[in-house]
Structures are given as structure tokens and as C-alpha cells.
Structure 1
Amino acid sequence: MKIEDFASKPPEFILEDFFSGRLRGWGIVLTRMGNLQNRFSIEAEGRWEASANTLSLKETYFFDDGHQDHLTWTIIKRSPSEYDGRETLIEGTAKGEQTGNAFHWTYHREVPASDGSKARFGFDDWFFLHDKNRMTANASLTKFGIQVATLNAFYEREQAV
């Protein structure tokens, strides 16, 4: 896939709009052979600071084996379609591109396991906006350049009461 493939696909995915506020999500991780590795739920909350072009996003993944993964992102909008991201367990900077209903994000990150250890994986993430309140994410996880797992997640914005 190429990000250009989505240029004319609506609705337009504006990262800072979708991830501002509270979100919930759920998903699965599949092994390289397509077997279910684990399930998870997600709680997230983001805040957009327009004056700094910065999205602050906190995500917690709750895995069915009992372990959790906490991510605290600082995402800077560099242009209408380009983003850079930092997170405490990321090596360097995550690079992102948006066009049409898609957002593409790549980075390397230390991922905590249920036994407390951490392993470094490459991430190739694709996000697809369905409507203003729902989005699907698909991530390819690699180790030494070989795909070892895929992660599929579904996010939904929580509605204000």
C-alpha cells in the first residue's frame, strides 16, 4: 500500500481531530502464522494544542493475559499531511503521513511482555477512518526485518454525556 492510494477516499482523517478527547478500543494480535496471540482493550485520551501544533495522547492497552502497555505520545504536526511522534519507548522519532481517510505511521519501539521483559519491534501502522467517531488500525510488527505479528485495533470516540 501507498499513502497516495487513499488521496480521494473520504472522510478525511485529521489525526488531531479524531484523537482529541476520550476514546476506547479493542483488538487482537495475531502471530505470523495467523494464530490468535492475545486480545486487548484500549483506553485513550488526547488533547490538541493548536498554538504548538502538538497532540498529546495517552493510551493504555489492557491485554487478556493481565499485562498492560502505557503509551504517552507527543505528536507534532509538521505540515497539513506530515507528523512526527515521540514516546518514551520509541527509538528516535515516529514518522507519519496522512491523506484522504488514511494515516501511515512507522517507528521502532520496546514492547513490554507479560513476564516484565521488553522486546524491540518495528511497527508499520495503517489507520483508516470510517466516520468521525470510528477508526480501524492495522499494524505489522517486525523483528530483524521479518514480520512476526499483526495487530488489528478498532477505536471509537466516546460521546460527551
Structure 2
Amino acid sequence: MAHRPTHPTAAVTALLALTLAGCAGAPVPADYAREQPTLNLREYFNGPLTAHGIFTDRSGRVVKRFTVQMVGRWQGQSGVLEEDFTYSDGSKQRRVWRLTELGQGRWRGQADDVVGEALGEVAGNALNWHYTLSLPVDGKTYEVQFNDWMYLMDNRTMLNKAVMSKFGFTLGEVTLSFSKP
């Protein structure tokens, strides 16, 4: 009778690893607690910034391109971030965020087109915001949920990826690259 090894083969081990990774769940800010450089919102969003971004629909097709000129100002634990969007079709939009640090890495954000308030958490180099945005589309306004992640790459560059959804279904994604002068 042939002897069968009692240890798993490489294929079984790889399959088990993929299965466990799939069960790990969605990322949380604490997953990035050791990542550097450490994100300090008051420092990064202070003064002028520029962002370039795209909106992709759920199939991955780029629907809109845009640039954002921003200026952040702070007084103590509160700040204002003014965003002026220019879209590839020539349209413009303005959003003014009022940000408040709540302590222990937690933040609150408010803007005129945000329903209620945005809640965010910073850990390491990452910030995760959750909020509902009133989004005008073809003469109608829809309330869509955002799961918004920002990652500080270095003292001048931040990458941002946000998933937009409604009733739990993904509508599309927004991807941005922020840069400081």
C-alpha cells in the first residue's frame, strides 16, 4: 500500500489561503494604523491643493473627468475645505466642507449637499469617510452612499478611491489624486 503524505499540498494550501482571504471582510482604518507617513488632516488639507479625478460607472467606463482646486483653513479642531470642481464637459460645482475633529482619530464633516453628516476615521496613512450625498443627475436628485478611502502617499500626494452605492448596489467609483504645491 502506498504511503500518502499527511501534510497538505501546495495547491490545497493556496486554495485555503484564498478562501480565508475572501472571508476576511472589508478593510477598516485600523488595518492601516502602522502605515507611514501618518496622515494629519489639519496639516495635509491646509492651504491650496489640486486634485485630478475620474468617475467610472459600474462597468468601469470613465463617465467624467474633473479637476478640483481646493483651499483648506483651520482654527483649532475645526476647518473649512473649499472645493471648486471643473468637469470635462465644462460644468462647474462648488462644495464647502466644514470639518471637526472629534478625537481618537474620528472626524465629522458637513457640506450643503451631504445628507446629515459624514463620519470619518483616520489611522496611519488612511482616512475612511462614510456619507450620503445628494447627487443631481439629469434634472433629478438622488441620495447615494459613499464609502470613501484616502491614502497619504507622501507629504505632497494623496490617493482617493470612493465607491458610490444605492440600496447596497454599486453605482460607480470616484478616483482622485491630490497634490500640494
Please confirm whether the aligned pair reaches a TM-score higher than 0.5, indicating the same fold: yes
For each residue in 1:87-146, what CA deviation from the matched residue of structure 2 results, as whole angstroms up to 9, or x when unmatched? 111111100000000000010011234x45432211110000011111000000012221
Q: Does 1:21 align with 2:21?
A: no
Structure-to-structure mapping, 1:49-64, within 5 angstroms:
49-50=75-76, 53-64=77-88
Gaps of 5+ in 1: none
Deviation at 1:156, TM superposition (A): 0.5
Specify which structure has the higher proportion of strand: 1
Count the aligned residue pairs. 155
Deviation at 1:36, TM superposition (A): 1.0
**Runs of 4+ in structure 1 over 4 Å off:** none
Gaps of 5+ in 2: 1-26
For each residue in 1:3-38, what CA deviation from the matched residue of structure 2 results, as whole angstroms up to 9, or x when unmatched? 111000000001111000000110111110111111
Q: Does 1:153 align with 2:179?
A: no
**Aligned-pair Cα RMSD in Å:** 1.2
Q: Return the alpha-carbon distance in structure 1 between the equivalents of residues 163 and 84 of structure 2.
A: 19
- Residue 118 to residue 67, structure 1, CA distance change in 2 (3 Å): farther
Which one has more relative contact order, counting CA pairs under 8 Å at least 6 apart? 1
Q: Which residue of 1 aligns with 2:145?
A: 122
- Which amino acid in the other structure matches residue 113 of structure 2? L
- Residue 58 to residue 73, structure 1, CA distance change in 2 (3 Å): same
**Bigger Rg over Cα:** 2
Give the fraction of aligned pairs with identical amino acids, expressed as a percent: 28
Q: Which residue of 1 aligns with 2:64?
A: 38
Q: Return the alpha-carbon distance in structure 1 between the equivalents of residues 102 and 178 of structure 2.
A: 24
Q: Which residue of 1 aligns with 2:156?
A: 133
Q: What is the TM-score when the length of structure 1 is the normalising length?
A: 0.92
